Structure 1
Amino acid sequence: MKPMQYSLEQLNSMPRDAFEAALSGIFEHSPWVAQQAAAARPFESIDALYSAMREIVANAGAARQLALIDAHPELAGKAAVRGELTAESTREQSGAGLADCTQEQFDKLQRLNASYREKFGFPFILAVRGYDRAAIIANFEARVNNTRDDELRESLEQIYRIARFRIDDLVTA
């Protein structure tokens, strides 16, 4: 199911609470980003909206950034199995074929999720759009060997990519 779309003009002119509600899913379970972005309106472009939201996260501090990272679901993880993903995450994971994993792929993803979380203390995050299951697994296998600092940085970069995809799906010029 495709998300509702808004024009940039609509977002700039709607009441604050409506703006916040419309953009609350851009950053997973973190409506505080949309709440802070509301104060920066009007946005001249979709790029300006994205940049403002990215800057809010970049300046949020380590604790809030870690909470944002931790708000993301594991790929093909327990939340997906239980049907508890957000609509955005469901579309993204299904679009990458994660809902159609073979048992072997699913088991491998479960092992990688557990290893990654044990090593880093947060879930593996990948903007899966454009990846197939094999590429996702290969990326996962490579990144589990990184340092925690590298993965914190990479996780935020992936979150920014996800946010950009979501904004592009939601907002029209």
Structure 2
Amino acid sequence: MRLATINALDRDAFVALLGGIFEHSPWVAAASWQARPFASVDALHAAMVAAVDRQGEARQLELLRAHPVLAGKAAIRGELTDDSAQEQAGAGLDRCSPEEFARLQALNAAYNAKFGFPFIVAVKGLDRAGIVQQFATRLEHDPATEFRQALAQVAKIARLRPTGLIEP
């Protein structure tokens, strides 16, 4: 859909179209609708990130917790959103060996125990080894640093998602 058409959408249609860009968080699209018209996809993304930034830590934590665990139970049961399933498959997470899967499960558990939300990384361009490296590095962060890093990764994921959805 062309950006000019998106700019002309009413709030409900806008949220229906863009509500999935931030995982299970259509409130981000709803909160950014009022910033229309957007001059570019970058401007739309900036408005959505600003909507997240305006929220308190509790709402931001809800956003982080809305993300699936990498190679987790939702993936095994086929319950990921289409975007998440494609992203995880692109990184090879759907083809883990039993040993890799066990390692990711242990890292997920350690990360969630330390930070209280799932490990979030924009997996585009990463392979399984790169994801494990990210886990190891980020497990060393203090909670405040990692909270900011996780939000930055959410923003990066959201920037990549509408690529096929919005025409210039």
For the aligned pair, the TM-score class normalised by the smaller chain equals over 0.9
Which consecutive aligned stretches of 4+ in structure 1 deviate over 3 angstroms post-superposition? none
In the alignment, is residue 88 of structure 1 matched against residue 78 of structure 2? no
Deviates more, 1:29-38 or 1:11-20: 11-20
1:57 to 36, 41, 52: 52
Report the CA distance between 1:158 and its aligned residue. Answer: 0.2
2:15 to 16, 20, 26: 20
Q: Specify which structure has the bigger relative contact order, considering alpha-carbon pairs within 8 angstroms and separated by 6 or more residues.
A: 1
1:10 to 5, 13, 30: 5
Q: Is the 8 A contact 1:7 1:171 kept in 2?
A: yes
In the alignment, the residues of structure 1 paired with residue 49 and residue 162 of structure 2 have an alpha-carbon distance, to the nearest angstrom, of 11
Report the CA distance between 1:169 and its aligned residue. Answer: 3.0
SS of the residue corresponding to residue 25 of structure 2 reads coil
1:144 to 105, 122, 139: 139
| Structure 2 counterparts to residues 1-173 of structure 1, below 5 A | 6-173=1-168
Task: Spell out, residue by residue over 1:61-80, the C-alpha distance to the aligned partner (whole angstroms, 9 max, x if none).
Answer: 11110100011011001111
SS of the residue corresponding to residue 35 of structure 2 reads coil
Percent identity at matched positions? Answer: 54
SS of the residue corresponding to residue 113 of structure 1 reads helix
Could you tell me which runs of 5 or more consecutive residues in structure 2 were left unpaired when the two chains were aligned.
none
RMSD: 0.9
Could you tell me which runs of 5 or more consecutive residues in structure 1 were left unpaired when the two chains were aligned.
1-5
In the alignment, the residues of structure 1 paired with residue 138 and residue 165 of structure 2 have an alpha-carbon distance, to the nearest angstrom, of 30
One-letter identity of the residue aligned with 1:163: A
One-letter identity of the residue aligned with 2:30: Q
Deviates more, 1:34-43 or 1:20-29: 34-43
One-letter identity of the residue aligned with 2:43: A
Report the CA distance between 1:15 and its aligned residue. Answer: 2.6
In the alignment, the residues of structure 1 paired with residue 2 and residue 99 of structure 2 have an alpha-carbon distance, to the nearest angstrom, of 43
**TM-score normalised over the length of structure 1:** 0.94
In the alignment, the residues of structure 2 paired with residue 130 and residue 9 of structure 1 have an alpha-carbon distance, to the nearest angstrom, of 30
Aligned length in residues: 168
